[in-house]
Chain A
């Protein structure tokens, strides 16, 4: 049973309830960092990593610190602090251990703190009452869904340069239309169910 539940979380997070196309979490980096495919891949991988790690750490913080101390109302503050320090920590670690990846991610790394997909996944874990493994799986697969969406979107956006459309639709509007059409395509997955 357990494995089926994990499978259904995975499929839901990547396809049916994709973080961007059906829950609108993480739209800012999705629109901001999707002009080129390689930066989009970097951002997607970094977000996946942070989401998985944040899910694990916040689950522990929530279960063993906040709930025993009766501080559940401080969840938002505690989680955002955990995420912010986690991102800072990853930044320092990458700078020392993997300077190549660090320079490739550049300014996007600190921006992950304000990515609502990260805080969103942590809050949704609590709301859905997931246990530790389910939380981590939801975090990682949610990140993979984000990666899939941003890479597909960036590769379409690269081709938009050659498209012919009215001048006032330049920039964000045409990108949003593209995203809307992709959301329509992703709605096709909504009947997908693993019991």
Chain B
């Protein structure tokens, strides 16, 4: 078991969103405010960690042929728990994430990690894999939220910081007037474009050291 490598894999070299390109739907759909990003990231991290541990614990008794169905049942159970908890304790978050909380069931990151990692590795390693992959997913969500919110409406930390509007929600700290923002980025189009830019930056960054080595040879 190599914690350092697992950490680096989750954050960068095997980042679930930027490198493995899994779980695109939620990444693009809900990253319109800081609050959504944190909520979704934490929810996915918790579910991923729990399901990784349970699937790893059961990996020897799950028959190979019906493993996908078993994974989905385990994941759906945890998603239901988290969904009900969010509805009970954080109704604002439940409203703004809407159908995307139950849809964590079919988020490819969780099923992907179950199939690729926890079905083959021990419980402790799977536990850390869940946490690191979850944090890797969360930071990408937050990066997208910050970029889209700032360029789109000139605010920072929507839903968490700043003044409170009539609906009782924080609107975020206004850095420049909303009229000057690129409104398009807060619409679905912005999700595609910002994610494209982030993945391109990642590919550029990952390709660079290799190129240097090749040149030095």
Contact = CB atoms under 8 A, between A and B. Distances in A.
A7 to B, nearest CB: 24
A73 B84 contact: yes
A127 B83 CA distance: 15
Contacts of A113: 68, 72, 106
Nearest to B75: A80
A18 B189 CA distance: 13
B200 A168 contact: yes
Nearest to B87: A73
A76 interface: yes
A177 B189 CA distance: 9
Interface in A148-195: 166-177, 179-181, 183-184, 187
A57 interface: no
A45 B26 CA distance: 24
Interface residues on A, range: 35 or more
B164 interface: no
B105 A180 contact: no
A115 B24 contact: no
Interface stretch (A35-43, A94-102, A116-124, A129-137): A116-124
A171 B103 contact: no
Interface residues of B, number: 44
Given A169-B200, A180-B196, A28 B108 contact: yes
A172 B20 CA distance: 11
Contacts of B191: 24, 180
Nearest to B99: A123
Contacts of A23: 29, 188
Given A119-B103, A177-B193, A74 B199 contact: no
Given A84-B69, A114-B111, A119 B197 contact: no
A76 B76 contact: yes
A116 B192 CA distance: 17
B24 A27 contact: yes
A80 B99 contact: no
A183 B192 contact: yes
A69 interface: no
B145 interface: no
A33 interface: no
24 contacts: A24-B28, A27-B24, A28-B24, A73-B84, A74-B80, A76-B79, A76-B83, A77-B76, A77-B80, A114-B106, A114-B111, A118-B106, A119-B103, A120-B99, A123-B99, A123-B102, A124-B99, A127-B98, A173-B200, A177-B192, A180-B196, A183-B187, A183-B188, A184-B189
Interface of A: 21-28, 31, 73-77, 80-81, 84, 110, 113-116, 118-120, 123-124, 127, 166-177, 179-181, 183-184, 187
